[in-house]
């Protein structure tokens, strides 16, 4: 016997409709490319998203067509999220930090019909368009007619103006109802190994992710909250914030392309931001700015840090120096992205060191996600906090196949998706990533966690950023090499730095060499590019004679 409850499709347009009806006057604030501030509300934004849906129809966009975006976080990007998905087309966010070659590959692979882009990306668009094989019909620049830059595109690709299209369209569009399993948005992994691959989210997966994300154990946003998503909307749906905030009636403060510490601090204070989310590199930049300028954050209470491992030193610094709680999250493009979350809890009797150690782990599976660790043969490994294995997940918002691939081809026979991360899980379910499987250092047959070594380096007072990579070694196969960037105006005493490892890790974990660099390379998603560093320093020990 089935239950007798209504069954309504879980559709993305319902989020912005709800926001317009119940939180209609809540702010959506955008810092634009020229540094000026634009203000609108959910009521106005929903009306413009309907107008956009009409404009898309006039361009000939139909259900299931892919429509690409190449844009910073702003109200227009939010309109695109809702207008495109809401009409039944697929909102394909493209990462502008990728090379023209990768952008062209992604646009071709997705067969995008239109590309909506910020005016700051004309050079990238021209370079990518020259390599396209013919699906793209037009590029729509996100500006007014008077602001249109010149853009030279191959024959057959029109150049259009967003606000001109909007002016010509009506708001009389009614959000349609369709199967909740319909594709809603598409996001390619940044292809650190091989070509980028597309995760194709459905309306249902996005809605379920949004509800879980807004539970009290996770983002827990509420009306009256003011959230600043630092994580770009071109990176895994902005970690779900463009859906989570309107669903709860929390205000959105969008930083555009201004992501340096000084710009973020001034926007956070001016707009009374209470909550934000982004990768560790951004928060290290903000922390450095706060320390050197003496500026305080007057309203920020919580920061979600994820995308790569959050150093415990960062959690401690924000807590002790600024009274801000850091909440560590783990996820990936293929998990929409949230998989685990380390919700702050007090454990009676726990000392400060143990508490920090616990908070620095990637946390517990969010309700709706099942996870485990397994060996290379796929056998489940124990949850004892020390045995490490391949992290696997399954759940309502986990990818089953990449775009264009055979159904379920990304999962094993039991439905597990293997993440490419190596992790431990404690008996009570607190997961810790020790490495990406391709970053693991194998020395004399033993695994060394690069993340743990990096965390210790970043906790030293003169170190701004650190990475540990495997270098080839004739005897041990691989040995760790530590690459560090000093804090502004500081010099690094390498002997003292290596001394910091004594007693904290087994002796054979201590890096064989330290290299001081002016900066570390970062990927298109703002993470330290281990791939570049691994290539660069692969032969470091042999070349410098340090391998004995």
Nearest residue (CB) to ligand ADP, 16 versus 373: 373
Least distance (Å) between residue 419 CB and ligand ADP: 5
Least distance (Å) between residue 432 CB and ligand ADP: 9
Return the structure tokens found at 310. 């959050």
Q: Which one from 442, 490, 504, 535 is the annotated catalytic residue? A: 442
Q: What is the DSSP string of 250-316?
A: -EEEE-BT--SHHHHHHHHHHTT--EEEE-HHHHHHHHHHHHHH----SS--EEEE-SSPPPHHHHH
C-alpha radius of gyration, the chain, whole number: 24
Compute the distance between CA of residue 267 and CA of residue 272 in angstroms, rounded to an integer. 8
Nearest residue (CB) to ligand ADP, 220 versus 420: 420
- Say how many C-beta atoms besides its own lie within 10 A of residue 150's C-beta: 7
Q: Which one from 271, 334, 454, 478 is the annotated catalytic residue? A: 334
Q: At a CB cut-off of 8 Å and minimum separation 6, what does 477 contact?
A: 442, 443, 444, 445
| Residues contributing to the site for ligand ADP (CB under 6 A) | 189-190, 192, 236, 306-310, 328-333, 362, 419-421, 433, 436, 523, 525, 527
Nearest residue (CB) to ligand ADP, 83 versus 238: 238
Q: Which one from 119, 192, 447, 532 is the annotated catalytic residue? A: 447
Least distance (Å) between residue 330 CB and ligand ADP: 4
Q: What is the DSSP string of 54-95?
A: HHHHHTT--TT-EEEEE--BSHHHHHHHHHHHHTT-EEEE--
Least distance (Å) between residue 339 CB and ligand ADP: 8
Nearest residue (CB) to ligand ADP, 188 versus 501: 188
Least distance (Å) between residue 70 CB and ligand ADP: 16
Nearest residue (CB) to ligand ADP, 415 versus 420: 420
- Say how many C-beta atoms besides its own lie within 10 A of residue 182's C-beta: 18
Least distance (Å) between residue 398 CB and ligand ADP: 12
Nearest residue (CB) to ligand ADP, 229 versus 306: 306
Nearest residue (CB) to ligand ADP, 249 versus 363: 363
334 tagged catalytic: yes
- 497: helix, strand or coil: helix
Q: Could you give the C-alpha distances from 288 to 280, 292, 314, 345, 423, in angstroms and in order?
A: 12, 6, 11, 27, 30
387 tagged catalytic: no
Exposed, middle or buried: residue 106 (CB in 10 Å: 0-12, 13-18, 19+)?
Answer: buried
Give the DSSP H or E segment for 177.
none
Distance of CA 481 to the CA centre of its chain: 27
Q: Which one from 189, 210, 333, 340 is the annotated catalytic residue? A: 189
Compute the distance between CA of residue 499 and CA of residue 487 in angstroms, rounded to an integer. 19
Strands in 114-117's sheet, in edge-to-edge order, are 158-161, 138-141, 114-117, 66-70, 90-93, 183-188, 198-202
Compute the distance between CA of residue 264 and CA of residue 42 in angstroms, rounded to an integer. 23
- Phi, psi (rounded to 5 degrees) for 544: -95, 5
Nearest residue (CB) to ligand ADP, 157 versus 453: 453
The answer to whether 83 and 57 are in contact (CB under 8 A) is no
Least distance (Å) between residue 350 CB and ligand ADP: 21
164 tagged catalytic: no
Least distance (Å) between residue 434 CB and ligand ADP: 9
320 tagged catalytic: no
- 389: helix, strand or coil: strand
CA dihedral 286, 73, 526, 210 (to 10 degrees): 100
Compute the distance between CA of residue 287 and CA of residue 310 in angstroms, rounded to an integer. 13
Catalytic residues: 189, 334, 442, 447
């Amino acid at each position: 016997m089935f239950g007798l409850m209504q069954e309504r499709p879980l559709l993305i347009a319902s989020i912005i409709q709800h926001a317009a009806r119940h939180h209609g006057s809540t702010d959506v604030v955008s810092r634009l490319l020229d540094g000026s501030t634009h203000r609108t509300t959910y009521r106005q934004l929903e009306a413009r998203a309907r107008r956009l849906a009409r404009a898309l129809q006039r361009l000939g966009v139909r259900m299931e067509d892919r429509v690409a975006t190449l844009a910073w976080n702003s109200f227009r990007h939010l309109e695109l999220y809702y207008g495109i998905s809401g009409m039944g087309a697929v909102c394909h966010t493209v990462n502008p930090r990728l090379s023209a070659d990768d952008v062209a590959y992604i646009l071709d692979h997705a067969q995008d019909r239109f590309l909506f882009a910020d005016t700051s990306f004309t050079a990238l668009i021209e370079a990518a368009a020259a390599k396209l094989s013919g699906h793209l019909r037009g590029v729509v620049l996100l500006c007014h007619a008077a602001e249109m830059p010149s853009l030279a595109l191959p024959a057959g690709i029109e150049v259009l103006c967003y606000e001109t299209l909007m002016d010509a369209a009506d708001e009389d569009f009614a959000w349609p109802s369709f199967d909740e399993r319909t594709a809603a948005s598409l996001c390619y992994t940044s292809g650190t190994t091989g070509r980028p691959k597309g995760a194709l989210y459905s309306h249902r997966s996005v809605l379920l992710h949004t509800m879980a994300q807004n539970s009290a154990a996770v983002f827990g946003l509420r009306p009256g909250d003011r959230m600043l998503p630092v994580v770009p909307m071109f990176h895994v749906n902005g970690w779900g914030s463009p859906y989570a905030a309107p669903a709860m009636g929390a205000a959105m403060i969008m930083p555009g392309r201004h992501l340096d510490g000084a710009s973020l601090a001034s926007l956070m204070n001016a707009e009374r931001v209470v909550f934000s989310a982004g990768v560790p590199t951004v928060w290290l930049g903000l922390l450095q700015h706060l320390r050197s300028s003496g500026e305080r954050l007057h309203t920020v209470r919580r920061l979600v840090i994820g995308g790569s491992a959050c150093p415990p030193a960062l959690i401690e610094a924000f807590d002790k120096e600024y009274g801000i709680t850091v909440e560590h999250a783990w996820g990936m493009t293929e998990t929409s992205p949230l998989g685990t979350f380390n919700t702050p809890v007090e454990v009676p009797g726990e000392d400060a060191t143990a508490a920090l150690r616990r908070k620095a782990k990637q946390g517990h599976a969010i309700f709706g996600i099942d996870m485990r660790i397994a060996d290379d043969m796929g056998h489940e490994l124990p949850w004892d906090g020390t045995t490490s294995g391949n992290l696997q997940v399954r759940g309502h918002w986990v990818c089953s196949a990449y775009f264009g691939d055979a159904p379920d081809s990304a999962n094993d026979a039991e439905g597990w998706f293997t993440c490419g991360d190596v992790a431990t899980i404690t008996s009570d379910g607190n997961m810790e990533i020790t490495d990406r499987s391709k970053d693991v250092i194998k020395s004399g047959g033993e695994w060394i966690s690069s993340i743990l070594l990096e965390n210790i380096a970043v906790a030293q007072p003169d170190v701004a950023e650190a990475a540990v990579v495997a270098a080839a070694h004739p005897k041990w196969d691989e040995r760790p090499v530590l690459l560090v960037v000093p804090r502004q105006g500081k010099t690094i005493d390498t002997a003292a730095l290596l001394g910091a490892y004594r007693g904290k890790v087994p002796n054979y974990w201590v890096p064989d060499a330290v290299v001081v660099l002016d900066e570390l390379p970062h990927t298109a998603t703002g993470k330290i590019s281990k791939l570049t560093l691994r290539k660069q320093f692969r032969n470091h020990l042999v070349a410098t004679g340090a391998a004995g």
